[in-house]
Structure 1
Amino acid sequence: MTKSVKNRVLKYLYNLKSFGYEYHEPLEFFQAEVKNVKLPNSLIELKNSVEHCYLCELSKCRKNVLFGYGNFNSKVLFINDEPSKSEDEIGSFYVGNSGELLSKMIENVLNIKKEEIYITTLVKCKSLNGATNSNMEVCNDYLLKQIELIKPKLLVVLGEKAYSFLLKNDDNFSQNRGKELSFNNIPLIATFSPTFLLRNPSFKKDAYYDMLKIKNFMEELN
């Protein structure tokens, strides 16, 4: 069974489920198979695969797929947990209050245009009640392939959820943010997500110092 056929079958099963039909653990069966499928070695082809993905329930509630945005050759890759409601509505990054705040963090502190870095998310579709680890696991191969193709020299992780998932630990995020860590032998620095900062503006000063550390790291790369 080809990947496209699997995707159509999953879409059909989800449609049945929305009408009240029940079936037993279909996702686990297909997800195990999909992990053995070789993903394309092109960001454009990978983006096309992601836009036609129906491997988890997020595909049912999304309005747009947010694959990634920015410079394919960027030395820095920003990773958020999931698209915001505004990003899902418009189909673009850096929109809405959280997107505008992140844009200012990048352009005003790092002193570069947001288009110069590359940004993506753990899951490529907006959830209704917050993406779960199960959703992230389904999307993880896509993210790992993006990292492989972009070959960043630094990963900037936005928020505790993304930090905990990528590093697979329950270490104190507040104590480790701003420090140089590592993910698959790539330096990683975590800071607060813009969504968190909008709810907790008193932490903006801490995020500012984190961004200065990121700026210093980027300058050492040049």
Structure 2
Amino acid sequence: MPDKFYKEFQETVAQVRGLLEDLKHLGVAEVPGETDLDARPVCQLSEVHSSTSCRSETLEEISADLGDCQRCGLSKGRNHIVFGAGNASARLVLVGEAPGRDEDLQGLPFVGEAGRLLERILFAMGFKREDVYICNVQKCRPPKNRDPLPEEIAACVPFLQRQLAALQPQVIVTLGRFAAQTLLDTSQPISSLRGHWQSYEGIAVLPTYHPAFLLRNPAAKREVWEDMKQVMSRLRQGDS
């Protein structure tokens, strides 16, 4: 080691030793490391804004815990788990029902014809897909796109709840009857729910029709656009 660098090294060691001695005289027996913060328990969604003794879980942690999920029978017929995709800091989260054929093949949400329609809706709102976060209640495709069974819902919904706790969005839009009824724990029909603000753990929720429904019923696009204008207005209020 050159003399110059060796001298600088000795000076740095002396400075650190002096700092530690000063801390010792002040009664500081241990300097906490950054890993101490990671040891805090994960916040539940209702605790995120009110507790300093917990930390937010990351989407990566949730996905790792989901792993190669075998928690229900849907795992036997799937090609890919569809965890979710988008901006982890998104103010707007869209929650669909369950993956379809294209989503199951690619492992991404809303990539089929309904997904392309959803992208056009988002574009009209001033968003790109990567600006928002998109996920489903169920992470695996039910056979023939049937509604999930109660045991399948029970196995999967906790992961959606953890995703929403990690994301902490300003607004959630539920797409379709199943997503709205599951997240809001209600049996009301989507025709009654759509267009009316609800709340999930303090987050504003607006149910609307699923894009697949719009493909079969184009006249309903007008109602969905009215819903999306409400969403844009709520997001602008958050900017002020």
Asked if these proteins are the same fold (TM beyond 0.5), I'd say: yes
1:99 maps onto 2:112 in alignment: no
> Which residue of 57, 61, 75 maps to 1:45?
61
> Which residue of 138, 144, 155 maps to 1:123?
138
What is the DSSP-based 3-state SS (H/G/I as helix, E as strand, rest coil) of the residue aligned with 1:175? Answer: helix
Answer with 85-94 or 56-65: which moved more.
85-94
1:51, distance to aligned residue in structure 2 (A): 3.4
What is the DSSP-based 3-state SS (H/G/I as helix, E as strand, rest coil) of the residue aligned with 1:78? Answer: strand
- State the alpha-carbon separation in 1 of the partners of residues 92 and 77 from structure 2: 30
Q: CA RMSD of the aligned region, Å?
A: 1.5
Q: Select the structure of larger CA radius of gyration.
A: 2
> Which residue of the partner structure matches residue 112 of structure 1?
127
1:49, distance to aligned residue in structure 2 (A): 2.4
Quick one: which amino acid aligns to residue 126 of structure 1?
R
Alignment of 1:185-204 (within 5 A): 185-204=202-221
Tell me how many residue pairs correspond in the alignment. 182
1:112, distance to aligned residue in structure 2 (A): 1.2
- State the alpha-carbon separation in 2 of the partners of residues 193 and 107 from structure 1: 17
> Which residue of the partner structure matches residue 231 of structure 2?
214
In the alignment, structure 1 segments of 5+ residues that lack a partner are 1-39
Answer with 92-101 or 186-195: which moved more.
92-101
In the alignment, structure 2 segments of 5+ residues that lack a partner are 1-55
- State the alpha-carbon separation in 2 of the partners of residues 195 and 134 from structure 1: 25
- State the alpha-carbon separation in 2 of the partners of residues 50 and 197 from structure 1: 32
Deviations 1:156-193 (A, max 9, x none): 10001111112222224212211111112211001000
> Which residue of the partner structure matches residue 102 of structure 2?
86
TM-score normalized by structure 1? Answer: 0.78
Deviations 1:65-122 (A, max 9, x none): 11111110111111001112111112223321011011111112x1111111111110
1:145, distance to aligned residue in structure 2 (A): 0.7
- State the alpha-carbon separation in 2 of the partners of residues 50 and 103 from structure 1: 27
What is the DSSP-based 3-state SS (H/G/I as helix, E as strand, rest coil) of the residue aligned with 1:203? Answer: helix
- State the alpha-carbon separation in 1 of the partners of residues 108 and 87 from structure 2: 15
What is the DSSP-based 3-state SS (H/G/I as helix, E as strand, rest coil) of the residue aligned with 1:48? Answer: helix
Alignment of 1:1-222 (within 5 A): 41-108=57-124, 110-129=125-144, 130=146, 131-222=148-239
Contact 1:133 1:165 (C-alpha < 8 Å) held by counterparts: no
